[in-house]
Structure 1
Amino acid sequence: MEVICLEDAAFYALIDKVVKRLTDGKPKTEKWVSGQEAMQMLRITSKATLQKFRDEGKIRFSQPEKKIILYDTDSIQEFLNKNAREVF
C-alpha cells in the first residue's frame, strides 16, 4: 500500500476540481417535462392525480398541441416545497 502526502492547499485544490467535475457532469433539468417525468418527480403513479393537480391549478402546464401536455418543473418543485412539513 502506498501513502500519498499532500499539502493543505494542494489537497483542497484537488477537492475543488473533483467537485467541479462532478457538478459539471450533472444533466441539466429541463424547464418543461412530460407527464411521465412529472409523475416521477411528484412520486405519484396515477394519471388521474396528475390531471387533478392540473385542473385545480396546483401545477403549471403547457399544451402546445392537443395531445401534448408539458409540466413546469419549477411549479412542481414549488408545489412540493409548499406541501412540505417541518420536523419537530
Structure 2
Amino acid sequence: MSSDYLTTEKEEVKRIYDYIAQIEKAIRISMQKFKPSICDERYLSGEEVCELLQISSRTLQTFRDTGHITYIEVSGRTFLYPESALNDLLNKNLHPAQI
C-alpha cells in the first residue's frame, strides 16, 4: 500500500504556492493602481499629474496659480485634480498636424 502525502517539497504543491504568489502580486498591483471615482469623476494627486504630463511640481503650481488647471484643495496643502481637467488642458493646447 503506497501512501502519498502532500508536502511542501512536492512539485504540485510548489506550483500551487507559485500560482498563489502570482495572484497576490496581481492583486497588490491592482490595488495600488485603483482610483475610486467620486461623483463619476476620477481624481489624481499632484504627483500623478506631474508624472503624466512630465512636468515639475513647480510647473503644476504655476498652472494652479494662473488658472490653467482645475483643482480641489482638500486640507490646505493637499490638491486633487479631476481627470477631465487634464483632458481639457491637453485638448485646449492641442496643435493639429499640418499635412
Query: Which structure carries more relative contact order (alpha carbon 8 Å, separation 6+)?
Result: 1
Structure 1 unaligned blocks of 5 or more? 1-26
**Secondary structure in structure 1 of the residue aligned to 2:81:** strand
| Contact preservation (8 Å) 1:42, 1:80 | no
TM-score, normalization: structure 2? Answer: 0.55
Alignment correspondent of 1:37: 48
- Could you tell me which of 73, 77, 84 is aligned with 2:87? 77
Query: Structure 1 runs of 4+ off > 4 angstroms?
Result: 27-30
- Could you tell me which of 65, 70, 79 is aligned with 1:60? 70
- Give the number of the structure whose residues are more often strand, by fraction: 1
**Root-mean-square deviation over aligned CA pairs:** 1.8
How many residues get paired?
A: 61
- Kindly, what percent of the aligned residue pairs are identical? 34
Structure 2 unaligned blocks of 5 or more? 1-33
